[in-house]
Amino acid sequence: MRRPEPWYRASKGAWYVQFGDKQVRLAKGLKDATEKDAFDTYYRLMAHRPESLPKGNDLLVALLCDLFLDHSKAHHEPDTFRLYSHFLQRFCKSYGRSPAGSTSTPSGRPLAATPRSR
């Protein structure tokens, strides 16, 4: 499958990209003035598409937490984001290098059975 590429539609004065049968507007305005914004939006969209994410054991807990925090920062109140960030920082110190698909710690113990450190 070909990777979608942005293009400028002069009649609409906007940058677009085609995802499947849907055209998504990336930026509106003069071609040269909005090209950087269009490609920044394009790269952000491509990075968050499910097929762009690592598969199975290639996805580390730290990356999964970072993706969640990106979502939280955009969709939650600042206090909620700070709370999530605080706890996930501590969690990632212990488990960040573990594959996200695993259910055990690097030492082999089940994650749910691991005692909480204070």
Instruction: Convert the pLDDT of each residue in 96-106 to its tens digit.
Output: 888 877 766 66
Tell whether 71 and 86 lie within a shared domain: yes
CA-based nearest residue to 30, from 9, 53, 59, 51: 9
Answer yes or no: is 72 within a domain: yes
Instruction: Convert the pLDDT of each residue in 50-71 to its tens digit.
Output: 776 666 667 788 988 998 999 8
Domain count, the chain: 2
Tell whether 47 and 73 lie within a shared domain: no
Answer yes or no: is 43 within a domain: yes
Average pLDDT, the chain: 84
Residue 65 half-sphere exposure, CB side, CA atoms within 13 Å? 19
- Contacts of 14-20 spanning 24+ positions with Cβ under 8 A: 15/42, 17/42, 17/45, 19/45, 19/49
pLDDT score, position 118: 46
Q: How far is CA 113 from the centre of its chain?
A: 29
Tell whether 77 and 92 lie within a shared domain: yes
pLDDT score, position 47: 79
